Amino acid sequence: DSDASKRIDCLNEDQINSLVEQLFCMEQNMAVITINRRQFDLAKGHSQRCLAHSRRYGLEGEKKITMIFQALEGCCSLQDQQDNHSCSLSFAEECYNLVVEAYDPVHPQVQEAAGVLIGILISKGDLFDVSTYVECTLVMKYSSNYS
């Protein structure tokens, strides 16, 4: 309605970002609840809105990457719960690529994303790619420790 748009127009950037973070958290929590209840149609809507909120608004830097990372991880989990490994793999790869481009190989989110990706590949039975990612992850981790 017009009253709502007037209220939004008077918000500053920090207030809008705070509102987006709250919406993100609410959708993320609802996605987790509906996944646990195995209400996958509802969970899909919450996961999609969570991902949209994380990508759309003006947050920047590590905070934005963390939100997108968490949203992609949630989408991956939803697809994995439904045994849709191909779709889950695409979310896991996107998640991994996001953090690999943003951080050092030893960053916790890079290691976590690699773990998620490797888990999906194991579920899918793609052991060749599992060994490739495991080797790559270990080499990146240990080479950065000795640099």
Q: Residue 62 — pLDDT band, cuts 50, 70, 90?
A: confident
**DSSP 8-state assignment for residue 146:** -
Q: Which residue has the higher pLDDT, 21 or 43?
A: 43
140 pLDDT exceeds 80?
no
Q: Is the pLDDT of residue 144 over 90?
A: no
Backbone conformation region of residue 59, classed left if phi is above 0, alpha if psi is from -120 to 50, else beta: beta
The Cα 25–Cα 113 span in angstroms is 20
pLDDT of 147 > 80? The answer is: no
Phi, psi of 126, rounded to the nearest 5 degrees: -95, 75
3-state secondary structure of 37: coil
Name the nearest CA neighbour of 13 among 68, 69, 60. 60
Structural tokens at position 132: 């490739």
